[in-house]
Chain A
């Protein structure tokens, strides 16, 4: 069964700092990768996704993620965070032909103004 690890459970940054959130998965075959964001009191929104092609994926709100197959990773990055980026970030992976994604436990990001 697929497992998804988000090692950074809590991240605290100041505005304008750079962000990188880790996501690693266990399945060694073809994977489809997603990052979702959940702002306080709101629903999950899709930030970006990777199915194939260029391993550097650009999403909404200035976020990007890089798929590194050899490291089983799909880390999320943003060069300069804002206070409004304070949220929970979830990595999700679907694989092996299954359309049901497995979610990581999430990373809580707090950005201080």
Chain B
């Protein structure tokens, strides 16, 4: 089973709201990722957690705050977003992360389609 689940599927929020995106995998993967994807564009890496520790932050604005409560869960907390943050937010996981080197394979969840009004 290579399933990564994400909730909610759709989210509409105002610029003053606080919301959270959730991601879950039960494949025993040790690395989890947040990506942002605009229509017809490749996914852009935001954050990487490897063994529950934040290992990569691609200079993402602080209005996005990731959290990894345990090895199966990944959250993305949103606060004071801008309309240009509207996008598909994808979660992915891979088996080994940094310890696996380049042979690691990412598996993606269905995404949360976020609209910021």
Contact = CB atoms under 8 A, between A and B. Distances in A.
B108 A101 contact: no
A19 B110 CA distance: 26
Among A30, A96, A101, max chain B CB count under 10 A is at: A101
27 contacts: A30-B102, A34-B105, A42-B110, A43-B109, A43-B110, A44-B90, A45-B108, A49-B105, A90-B42, A94-B102, A97-B101, A98-B101, A99-B31, A99-B94, A99-B96, A99-B97, A99-B101, A99-B103, A99-B104, A100-B45, A100-B48, A101-B106, A105-B41, A106-B40, A106-B41, A106-B42, A108-B40
A81 to B, nearest CB: 19
A103 interface: yes
Interface of B: 2, 31, 40-43, 45, 48, 56, 90, 92, 94, 96-98, 100-111
Interface residues of A, number: 27
Nearest to A43: B110
Contacts of B90: 43-44
Contacts of A106: 40-42
A30 B92 CA distance: 24
Most buried by A among B96, B101, B102: B102
